[in-house]
Amino acid sequence: MEHASLLDIANTYGAPLYVYDAEKIASQYQRLTDAFNGVEQLRLNYACKALSNLGILRLMNSLGSGLDTVSIQEVRLGLLAGFKPESIIYTPNGVSLEEIEEAAALGVQINIDNLSVLEQFGSKHPDIPVCIRINPHVMAGGNSNISVGHIDSKFGISIHQIPHLLRIVELTKMNINGIHMHTGSDILDIDVFLYASEILFETAKNFKSLQFIDFGSGFKVPYKEGDIETNVEELGKKLTKRFNAFCKEYGRPLTLAFEPGKFLVSEAGYFLAKVNVVKQTTSTVFASVDSGFNHLIRPMLYGSNHEILNISNPKGRERYYSVVGYICETDTFGSNRRINEIKEGDVLAFRNAGAYCFTMASNYNSRYRPAEVLWHKGKAHLIRERETFDDILRNQVDISAVFEEKKPAVVTK
């Protein structure tokens, strides 16, 4: 998006504000589709935990995407956005059997990642198709906080527990129609991912009625100029060849599934914040914005690097700034960044703000969560209103009467 368009949107809807470029989302979806065009049956299930606004979900549905969900609430959002139940896969972790049964009753694809629930669900509902999430014990991502395929992960059924898994399936006579894995985010080493895929193929041979194999996602996107990213085109060529060979060995075509989240929406997102104060100390120039980790926590939580642009003065002389927030905690977005000269009142744009940004926002310090806008075909569409004080109070219960009881009189002598 052009800086001028972002600045116009900020002037119209105020800041702080999230803006998403629909054209970029569509191009990322097409890029991934093209990378695997040699597969007979491909299914991309958007991981909506990355960005779950109904406007975004409706956009994904219009592109032909399925939906990857991790909670019953996300399932309901998907249905409300127009996804058919059969195009939604539900992959929770550590939830109750009751929630899984609630999702199953809505007709979505169930994906189970532990033996205890698998046995309970299979015993009660042997006819409902179930996908099984495997932990391949392969850490394909580059960050231990977001890699979930390692041996000490809480996610998935260990490959060393396959004999136990098969015994449960045999005893319950349950219907296993899919095999799934997710090794983590920020995948750079394609060979490591392909190695994990071989483990999934080997596991799949144990099940004769599969309809799909889901390889998760975790494709890395660039966060700054010259940054490295997952080469999805190379992965597409190599995995397509291997997948087609496996289908031939299996005896019939299967669906190749992915669940991209960050890959589809990260680069499409911009977070806009206004500069409240420019503060010079003995060693640092701080640019303090009208936001904090209540709106964008990833730099503090994961150490993520979001490029920061001064869209109010894009041609100004570059200086070094530490961009910080207004929260009563240390909330540094970036230290000693080279940014075009900043004045109080300027609007800064944080790039790569489409994934795991608004969805992780909070009301910490009783601050309002920001508005969201979708930029679609050259027009800005408000898809979430800015919160108000009424939203802060909405679910709080007034117990003022409890404190209005008369206090006993003070007796003086």
Smallest CA-to-CA distance from 373 within 271, 222, 226 is with 271
Whether the CB-CB separation of 322 and 287 falls below 8 Å is answered with yes
Instruction: Report the sign of the C-alpha dihedral through residues 72, 142, 228, 225, in that order.
Output: positive
Alpha carbons within 13 A on the beta-carbon side of 380: 21
- DSSP character string of 154-211: SSSEEGGGHHHHHHHHHHHT--EEEEE---BSSB--HHHHHHHHHHHHHHHTT-SS--
Residue 348 near residue 310 (C-beta atoms within 8 A): yes
Query: Which is catalytic among the residues 48, 131, 247, 328?
Result: 328
Is 169 exposed, middle or buried (CB count within 10 Å of its CB: 0-12, 13-18, 19+)?
A: buried
DSSP states of 123-150: HH-TTS-EEEEEE-S---BS-TTTB--S
Which token pair is 334?
A: 């970036």
Residue whose pair of structure tokens reads 């930029």 in the numeric block:
375
Residue 328 among the catalytic residues: yes
Give the 3-state secondary structure percentages of the chain, helix then strand then coil, rounded to 5. Answer: 35, 25, 45
**87/115 Cα distance (integer angstroms):** 25
Q: Closest Cα partner for 355 from 245, 221, 204, 160?
A: 221
- What DSSP designation does 375 have? E
Helices (H), 37-96: 54-63, 72-80
Question: What is the secondary structure of 242-259 as a DSSP string?
Answer: HHHHHHHHHTS--EEEE-
Phi, psi of 162 (to 5 degrees): -60, -40
Decide if 245 contacts 38 (C-beta within 8 A): no
What residues act catalytically? 328
